[in-house]
Amino acid sequence: MTTQDLIRELREPADSKIVLLVADGLGGLPLEPGGLTELESARTPNLDACVQEGVCGLSIPVLPGIAPGSGPGHLALFGYDPLQYRIGRGILEALGINFPIGPEDVAIRGNFCTLDGQGRITDRRAGRPSQEQNLAAVERLRRIQLPGVELFVEPVREHRFVLVLRGTGLGDQVNDTDPQAVGVAPLTAQGADPASQKTAELINQFTAAARQVLADCAPLNGVTLRGAARRPAIPAFTEVYGLKAAALAVYPMYKGLARLVGMDVLDAGASLQEQIATLGRVWKEYDFFFLHYKYTDSTGEDGNFAAKVQMIEQLDAAIPQIRALRPDVLIVTGDHSTPSKLRSHSWHPVPTLLLADTCRPDEATKFGERDCLRGGLGQFPAQYLMLLAMAHARRLGKYGA
């Protein structure tokens, strides 16, 4: 029995509201031995008050030692086993540009590359073209037609684009055509099963057609394709939890992830202030609200400790406005850690707080990694966070008599 089966069996209607505030990459590390982390350094009186009234702990997104991408990190927070449900790279790229992926679509990451007269790759990134060059080449690719499928070509950045094949019976077990080397031709795509072979043949036809339509576009005169993927069959959020869910995110990737699990993706503006204004406006219409805050991650990725501290303090300042709406359950966490010291996603457990009137007191008094170690939630798999949210929202009945 999966966790989803259990929730479907036990869930009960209630009038309660849950806010899941995801501060992307929240967890950190000290820069120097004996120092404080970004979260411990930040002045966070409002988050600290939540910790004192609620319960805290550390969530483990996938497994100890595993640094997750945004996809598995969010799937776990939404209550899905990130090892069971995998989001392929093509799908993630398509989500990142807010492309509305259909259930049978195959999404593929594309790279423009430079080919010599013999069709051998001389530059795998086509000289990192400008956005104008990328758009012009994408326009050429859009002329390509293939039998039995609808094609979508969408620009990303530099040498990258997304190809979506829309048809029926297309598999996604196809090798990448990027040989990861120069001096050789792009590889031929092959499918691991008949449905994937159908996709592979379309990829090979597209690659050949691209050489023709891009013939005079050097250095963007060839393409490689990789990460072919269909969307995973994730049971919808509303169907599993019985929650009417709204996503209030600024960046396309997180809107896409929320759409993938069936949340309503609202036009929430371009800043935390606008997101919170939207939250207030739609408060009566939904049971569950996913708010995504990007800047704790991007400053961490930049290796900018001070800026990450500042972004945490800006988040803290917004907490009273959220609490003023009186959510029954307020959760503040991250999808993974992004220590500025490492300039990347990391495997370190993620500080998490849950505020509800059914919390058992613990001895944590401040929202920080060390306090969370003493918190009542302990260290726990992130995929169980939604069980706790549902329990504290009084939306789960008893298991067994």
**Binding region for a copy of itself (CB under 8 A):** 1, 3, 6, 10, 27, 29-30, 33-35, 37, 53, 58, 62-73, 82-83, 86-87, 89, 92, 341-342, 344-349, 358, 360-363, 369-370, 373-374, 376-380, 384, 386-392, 396-401
Nearer of residues 92 and 266 to a copy of itself, judged by Cβ: 92
Phi-psi region of 267 (alpha: psi -120 to 50; beta: other; left: phi over 0): beta
> In this structure, how many other beta carbons lie within 10 angstroms of the beta carbon of residue 57?
25
Phi-psi region of 341 (alpha: psi -120 to 50; beta: other; left: phi over 0): alpha
Nearer of residues 43 and 86 to a copy of itself, judged by Cβ: 86
> How far is the C-alpha of 144 from the C-alpha of 44, rounded, in Å?
54
Contact yes or no for 312/39 (Cβ under 8 A): yes
Nearer of residues 102 and 361 to a copy of itself, judged by Cβ: 361
The least distance separating a copy of itself from the CB of residue 177, rounded to whole angstroms, comes to 19
- Biggest CA–CA distance in the chain, Å, is 74
Nearer of residues 219 and 368 to a copy of itself, judged by Cβ: 368
The least distance separating a copy of itself from the CB of residue 50, rounded to whole angstroms, comes to 12
Q: At what angle do helices 305-323 and 272-282 cross, to 10 degrees?
A: 20
Nearer of residues 122 and 379 to a copy of itself, judged by Cβ: 379
Q: Supply the DSSP symbol for 372.
A: H
Report in angstroms the alpha-carbon separations of 373 from 367, 369, 379. 10, 6, 7
Nearer of residues 198 and 231 to a copy of itself, judged by Cβ: 231
